[in-house]
Amino acid sequence: MTLALSQSQALAVSSISVSHLTARTSGRRHFSRLSISSSSSTAKPSQPLSSPPLSRTKTGVIVVGAGLAGLAAATHLHSRNIPFLLLEASDGVGGRVRTDLVDGFVLDRGFQIFITSYPEAQKLLDYRELDLRKFYSGARIYFDGQFHTVADPLRHFSDALQSLTNPIGSVLDKLLIGSTRLGVLTKSDDQILRADEVPTSELLKRIGFSDSIVGRFFKPFFGGIFFDPELETTSRLFEFIFKCLALGDNTLPAKGIGAIPDQLASKLPPSSILLNSRVASIDLEESSLKLETGETFQSEFGLILAVEEPQAAKLLAGMKRNGNGNGPGNPVPVRPKPARGTVCVYFSADRDKVPVQDPVLFLNGSGQGIVNNMFFATNVAPSYGPADKVLVSASLIGSFEGESDENLAARVVAELSGWFGDSLVGSWKYLRTYRIGFAQPNQSPPTDLMKSHRVDSGLYVAGDYLTSATFDGALVSGRKAVEALLRDRALIQS
Ligand SMILES: Cc1cc2nc3c(=O)[nH]c(=O)nc-3n(C[C@H](O)[C@H](O)[C@H](O)COP(=O)(O)OP(=O)(O)OC[C@H]3O[C@@H](n4cnc5c(N)ncnc54)[C@H](O)[C@@H]3O)c2cc1C
């Protein structure tokens, strides 16, 4: 089934321009286009949104939240010429996927990796423009005072061969990684996301992996991806990520992870994105939203709530409902499981004060200490720092509330001095700490990774908590929310 508006439908909806909203909200900051040169995007409008406004109070669709889910929803609306307004509470787009420039360093807000095989991302993003820089396909694991390599045999055959006998796991473990990989490659993503589930730790046990490889490799590697050192996360998510890792490369965009949402936003009309606009309440009967400032926006076709799970739960709980007595179903759990958090500490180092030049991820397989993983970001993407410096990124799992940034940084330095030697680490300069209390929703079983995106006619939700808690899941959910809205509004042509 293709999703598109007929020519007359497109004209009808595009005549309700968002430009009038620019006037009503003067003083608020709009998203400004970046200077990235634009090139092919799969989601392009078939005609510009330039018709004169008919209404001064309404726009077609209002999307709340300019994270990847909201940006994907906006991209799909734009590609169908449906006018929309994207309201974002913070001062920039990207949500959890943002990057800061600090003293010539590119600091992602937390350690994030973009896997090139994410299927939805492949449809929406221009990879060439992102200038993706690859990590080594494997990891170097700190265990028992030494470093041991785990390598992808299809990409680094001789490294993988040499690593067969290292203490990270038995030879059988390493063969089991190969057979697990083949197993996930034979399943579709849909099969994986709907499969029977157990915690990842249980799945690994059932496959036959030894405690050694689970503790020394799977816990720091997948625990770092899920921010879940006990690997309670659903086997569905594990298999989805395992499959993506088998098919694609781990990368960073040269300009930082925030280049991903920036690319999506740069292809939308700048006046359609309103920053610093926090929605305080929803009135479903009026199909309207009120900002914290008291400003009200009304939508013609529907509202898409693309905010984090706790925010969505709050807004839906306080929502003024339809007068028809049929309260909407609430896809957001009333008592969500505790969220997954992380802390990322950055340092700068002189070029001669780092132990390696290669773009490898270091994992803590020792079972001790607070650092879960670390890497030298400029080894992956030199643009992450000034020419004469190295950017060091160390990640911890959990929120470490009650511990000061200074204390945490000192503990990280002490721990990494044990790994690499005080003569190197002692010279590193502290740059910044990012504490992300809500990095991902908790996706331990029971999960439903195929949740409905429809709350009621005219109200839809999007966000990573509705599907896989990944960049890809967020992009998928933005599309699915738009599809649900279009189905309700019968704007779909088969
Ligand atoms: C440190 C870290 C590392 C990660 N690493 C990876 C990784 O390596 N690979 C991967 O695939 N995924 C990773 N993730 C997960 C991934 O970033 C998320 O799953 C995804 O970005 C979620 O997107 P979203 O649009 O659903 O939510 P969000 O990005 O949270 O967007 C929600 C937006 O809604 C806005 N908002 C909230 N309330 C309101 C309101 N009332 N009014 C207006 N706006 C509002 C917020 O400001 C925000 O911009 C990581 C996440 C973090 C934090």
Establish whether residue 169 lines the binding site of ligand 1, counting it when its CB lies within 6 angstroms of any ligand atom: no
What does the alpha-carbon distance between residue 100 and residue 104 come to, in Å, rounded to a whole number?
10
Establish whether residue 13 lines the binding site of ligand 1, counting it when its CB lies within 6 angstroms of any ligand atom: no
C-alpha distances out from residue 26 to 23, 275, 309, Å: 5, 12, 30
pLDDT recorded at residue 6: 33
pLDDT recorded at residue 333: 55
In this prediction, residues 36-40 reach a mean pLDDT of 28
Nearest CA owner, ligand 1 atom 51: 439
Residue 146 belongs to domain spanning: 138-248
Establish whether residue 260 lines the binding site of ligand 1, counting it when its CB lies within 6 angstroms of any ligand atom: no
Specify the ligand 1 atom closest to the Cα of 69. 25
Query: Under a CB-based contact definition with an 8 Å cutoff, are residues 61 and 304 in contact?
Result: yes
Same domain, 164 and 122: no
Establish whether residue 471 lines the binding site of ligand 1, counting it when its CB lies within 6 angstroms of any ligand atom: yes
Nearest CA owner, ligand 1 atom 3: 112
329 has pLDDT over 60: no
Which band of pLDDT confidence, cut at 50, 70 and 90, is reported for residue 256? very high
Same domain, 91 and 107: no
Same domain, 153 and 229: yes
Nearest CA owner, ligand 1 atom 5: 112
When divided into structural domains, the chain yields a total of 3
In this prediction, residues 183-208 reach a mean pLDDT of 97
Same domain, 237 and 92: no
pLDDT recorded at residue 31: 52
Out of 199, 223, 248, a domain closes at 248
Question: Residues near 272 by Cβ (< 8 Å), separated by ≥ 6?
Answer: 18, 49, 74, 78, 83, 84, 85, 86
Query: Under a CB-based contact definition with an 8 Å cutoff, are residues 195 and 236 in contact?
Result: yes
Question: What does the mean pLDDT of the chain come to?
Answer: 87
CATH number at residue 353: 3.90.660.20
Establish whether residue 440 lines the binding site of ligand 1, counting it when its CB lies within 6 angstroms of any ligand atom: yes
pLDDT recorded at residue 337: 86
CA of 325 to the centre of ligand 1 (A): 33
Q: What is the pTM of this model?
A: 0.89
Best of 75, 85, 96, 343 for a ligand 1 pocket test (most atoms within 8 Å of beta carbon): 96
Same domain, 330 and 450: yes
Residue 51: count of CB within 10 angstroms of its CB:
17
Q: What is the CB-side half-sphere exposure of residue 31 using CA atoms within 13 A?
A: 29
What does the alpha-carbon distance between residue 146 and residue 116 come to, in Å, rounded to a whole number?
31
Establish whether residue 68 lines the binding site of ligand 1, counting it when its CB lies within 6 angstroms of any ligand atom: yes
Specify the ligand 1 atom closest to the Cα of 66. 49
Q: Is residue 494 part of a domain?
A: no
Out of 248, 279, 313, a domain closes at 248
- Residue 401 structure tokens: 């509330």
pLDDT recorded at residue 322: 61
Which band of pLDDT confidence, cut at 50, 70 and 90, is reported for residue 294? very high
Q: Is residue 288 part of a domain?
A: yes
CA of 355 to the centre of ligand 1 (A): 33
pLDDT tens digits for range 461-477:
999 999 999 999 999 99
pLDDT tens digits for range 406-456:
999 999 999 999 999 999 999 999 999 999 999 999 999 999 999 999 999
What phi, psi does 212 have (nearest 5°)? -60, -50
Establish whether residue 436 lines the binding site of ligand 1, counting it when its CB lies within 6 angstroms of any ligand atom: yes
Cβ-count burial 114-132 (b if 16+ within 10 Å, e if not): bbbebebbeebbeeebbeb
pLDDT tens digits for range 389-411:
999 999 999 999 999 999 999 99
348 has pLDDT over 80: yes
pLDDT recorded at residue 452: 93
pLDDT recorded at residue 40: 31
CATH number at residue 323: 3.50.50.60
Same domain, 297 and 344: no
Best of 76, 112, 305, 361 for a ligand 1 pocket test (most atoms within 8 Å of beta carbon): 112
pLDDT tens digits for range 54-80:
333 579 999 999 999 999 999 999 999
pLDDT tens digits for range 295-311:
999 999 999 999 999 99
